[in-house]
Chain A
Amino acid sequence: MLKPIITLKDIAVTLGGEQVLKNFNLTIGDGEFVTLLGPSGCGKTTVLRTIGGFITPDAGDVFFGEQKITDVPPHKRAVNTIFQKYALFPHLNVYENIAFGMRIKGKKEDEIRRTVNEMLHMVNLDGMARRGVGSLSGGQQQRVAIARALANEPKVLLLDEPLSALDLKLRKDMQSELKKIQQAVGITFVFVTHDQEEALSMSDTVVVMDKGQIQQIGTPIDVYNEPKNAFVADFIGESNILDGTMVEDYLVEVAGQRFKSLDSGFGTMAPVDVVIRPEDIDIVPTASSAAHVAGVVTSVTFKGVHYEIIVDVDGFKWMIQTTDSAKVGDRIGLALTPDDIHVMARSEYSGKFGDYSSFSEEMGMARLSSGKEADDA
């Protein structure tokens, strides 16, 4: 475990009469790349604002290393923020925006010039130094915001969806650039995104949040392969989530069949949620002995690398991602292996996620009335 640099202890935050964060505990290690991931309005920005000092929690404490900083004002915290809405200084040009923090600290002019130019180069804005920030595109403004925060050499950098305004290519570039910077300088990054792919590919640790509470903390591989509950399974990647019964340790019953499983500790005959990732399911002929369940294909969508196939198995719609093709109406068998089956304890989220029936109905509707667009699929 890394030396902790930021610790949030039992934080509670109420904004406008609404409890935004509840009993929030998080320890961030020095030099770690932590991502807060969750749906809109779940409190990600609020967590960053609490760390940055813009919100004083109603209860709980914030620590910087060993030191309690709950009541330390923002300008005295060795933390810098890249704000969700950039918040650039409109009365200053690009150069002066980036130089702002260094001027406050009273750095020497030639040092400022050197750093600003380095930063401009890093965010790919060479030659823009004298431009007014109002004349920049959203993506350029976002990059100025990144440069402005990094120029300050913070111990901890808080990034509130810093790449959301960039196009796909620039976004990928900036992702690897940020990751490179983070590793080179060894700054702790607390990164907010609601893009799960971004979260998985960049972070050391992913914190999945919903409704102001942490649902799971873990490495990207952990949260993907071993989601703690139906919410996490559904939010990260696609998941078929089925009702199952843990017959005994290492034996689970799901979809009318018993499977060997890698999970234990749920007791005997315990109701559980079972996650099966769409890419882990193989299509086999119904007659094949490998077929665990069989169903009728209700929709096939071409996704580039693979097909996304919805299969109706006795009323429960499964999603399968496979490079094999199938036709709508085909009866196919699905083959599962114990490795593919992940068992989760029941939670408030059980039964709310993981059935693709609404999804496939929409697709079906769209096909029937082919003139109309299925825009909310």
Chain B
Amino acid sequence: MRNNKLICAPYTVWMTLFIIVPMGLVAFFAFTDRSGAFTLHNIAQVGQYSNVFLRSIWLGAIATAVSLLLGYPLAYIIARANPSRQSALVMLVMLPMWMNFLLRTYAWMTLLEDNGLLNALLTAVGLPRLHMINTAGAVVLGMVYNYIPYMILPLYSVLTKIDPSVIEAAQDLGADSKKVFLKVIFPMSMPGVISGVTMVFVPAVSTFIISKMLGGGGNLLIGDLIDMQFLGSAYNPNLGSAISLVLMVIILICMGIMNQFDDGEEVGGGMLL
């Protein structure tokens, strides 16, 4: 026991210093005014940005859903590929992550601009230009592009662990390929789905770079709002902290619902379908 404590000590210090204390500070700022006196004013003010919250959650949810729909089949294909090819495919998924996040997003800007590469291509083949940059669609695209590896990797890792003999057992008991997927593969991959969804949804909801660069002024997200309170024109760290706190609570609730779903799946088993 004593030994355990010693080994844990550095982590405890780390966590206290860089997680607990900053969180405490955020909470402190959120409930105080500029002079440091207790107030609920900041929290109350957050309400007026509910449209920004809704937009963030909405776009984040769409990006997560798109990532799941695109990422699942890909993860499945990689997991079923022959073992020697798997690592190469995983590498390909991770490759873009090694490039700087800003650079990647800049690249999309030049692609999507009204005079960008894609539109140049469209005009070249005689099609009308499309307005793509500074739309909600562009923001979702940026989110999906940047975060989809975080969806694919956990899915891949649960899918490779599924024993092929379990799939054979399901076929043996009369399940065709659709039922094998719905009743065995998908439920068994649920932990991967949960962690993939979490890992895409959380950064997507709180992003500010993507919306700033691809969304223009019309697609302000919570991240941008917080950014503005600390670094921007609307300097107000107390309000910024309050928004962060509310965002955190909302994310916690979303994750809670997600995990509830997973539990239900496990206990109810096949009854759901």
Q: How far is the CA of A149 from the CA of B168 in the complex (A)?
A: 13
Which of B80-88, B114-122, B170-178 is near enough to bind chain A?
B170-178
Point out the residue from A53, A93, A101 that lies within 8 Å of B173, measured CB to CB.
A101
Residue of B nearest to A104 (CB): B174
If A91-B190, A99-B270, A100-B270 touch, whether A148 touches B173 (CB-CB below 8 Å) is yes
Point out the residue from B179, B190, B265 that lies within 8 Å of A104, measured CB to CB.
B179
CB-CB < 8 A to A96: which residues of B? 269-270
CB proximity of B184 to chain A, nearest CB, Å:
6
* B269–A75 touching, CB < 8 Å: no
* B168–A54 touching, CB < 8 Å: yes
For window 123-171 of B, CB contacts with A under 8 Å fall at 163, 165-166, 168-171
Q: How far is the CA of A231 from the CA of B168 in the complex (A)?
A: 34
CB-CB < 8 A to B168: which residues of A? 54, 74, 81, 83, 87
Residue B212 lies at the interface, judged by CB distance under 8 Å to chain A: no
CB-CB < 8 A to B190: which residues of A? 91
Q: How far is the CA of A261 from the CA of B167 in the complex (A)?
A: 55
Residue of B nearest to A158 (CB): B172
Residue A73 lies at the interface, judged by CB distance under 8 Å to chain B: yes
CB-CB < 8 A to B169: which residues of A? 81, 83, 87-89, 148
> 1/0 contact trace for B175-192 toward A, CB 8 Å?
110010001100110100
If A100-B183, A103-B270, A104-B179 touch, whether A89 touches B166 (CB-CB below 8 Å) is yes
CB-CB < 8 A to B172: which residues of A? 52, 74-75, 79-81, 83, 149
> 1/0 contact trace for B6-48 toward A, CB 8 Å?
0000000000000000000000000000000000000000000
If A91-B188, A92-B269 touch, whether A104 touches B175 (CB-CB below 8 Å) is yes
Residue of A nearest to B176 (CB): A75
Residue A245 lies at the interface, judged by CB distance under 8 Å to chain B: no
Q: How far is the CA of A81 from the CA of B266 in the complex (A)?
A: 25
Q: How far is the CA of A103 from the CA of B190 in the complex (A)?
A: 20
* B173–A90 touching, CB < 8 Å: no
* A105–B174 touching, CB < 8 Å: yes
Residue of B nearest to A101 (CB): B173
A residues lining the B interface (CB < 8 Å): 52-54, 73-75, 79-81, 83, 85, 87-93, 96, 99-101, 103-105, 148-149, 152
A-B contact pairs, 6 of them (CB 8 A): A74-B168, A81-B168, A81-B169, A100-B183, A103-B270, A152-B173
